[in-house]
Amino acid sequence: MTDCIFCKIAIKEIPSDIIYEDENMIAFKDVNPMAPVHVLIIPKIHMESMDHVTKKDSVLLGELLYKIKEIASLLGLENGYRVVNNCGEDGLQTVKHLHFHLLGKRKMQWPPG
């Protein structure tokens, strides 16, 4: 998608602080961190949100979720972490390219706001 900021990050048209990358996904630091560690994990191909995924995306998304523990380990999050997906208007999704937030190095709160 030509006007999508995360697609541009995925192809390095927009620079980011990359933590992990493979052929299917990229993980980079959030520009406005909400925790000492705040990384965004995205599929390289454009999909708008969790509400837009289809059955054919399930292998890729399973791989992406599976990789999160490796990324957490790379970042030293052995004491735990939080994975967040904001979806749609009520979920307060601001960037319309599916992404998971990985937050760590502080004690989280529950319930979320």
Q: 3-state DSSP helix/strand/coil percent for the chain, to nearest 5?
A: 25, 20, 50
Q: 31 or 74: whose CB is closer to ligand 5GP?
A: 31
Size of the site for Zn ion (CB under 5 A): 6
Report the residue from 35, 45, 50, 95 that binds ligand 5GP according to the rule CB under 6 A: 95
Task: Residue 93: name its binding partner from ligand 5GP, Zn ion, none (Cβ under 5 to 8 Å by kind).
Answer: ligand 5GP
Q: Is the CB of residue 96 less than 8 Å from the CB of residue 4?
A: yes
DSSP symbol at 56: G
* DSSP state string for 68-103: HHHHHHHTT-TT-EEEE---TTTTT--SSS--EEEE
Q: What span, in angstroms and rounded, lies between the C-alpha atoms of 89 and 92?
A: 5
Q: Which of residues 21-80 bind ligand 5GP (CB under 6 A)?
A: 28-32, 40
The answer to whether residue 99 is catalytic is yes
Which residue reads 């996904």 in tokens? 25
Report the residue from 29, 44, 46, 106 that binds Zn ion according to the rule CB under 5 A: 46
Report the residue from 2, 79, 94, 109 that binds ligand 5GP according to the rule CB under 6 A: 94
Residue ranges that bind Zn ion, judged by CB under 5 A: 1, 4, 6-7, 46, 97
Residue ranges that bind ligand 5GP, judged by CB under 6 A: 5, 14, 16, 28-32, 40, 86, 92-95
- Residues marked active site are found at 99
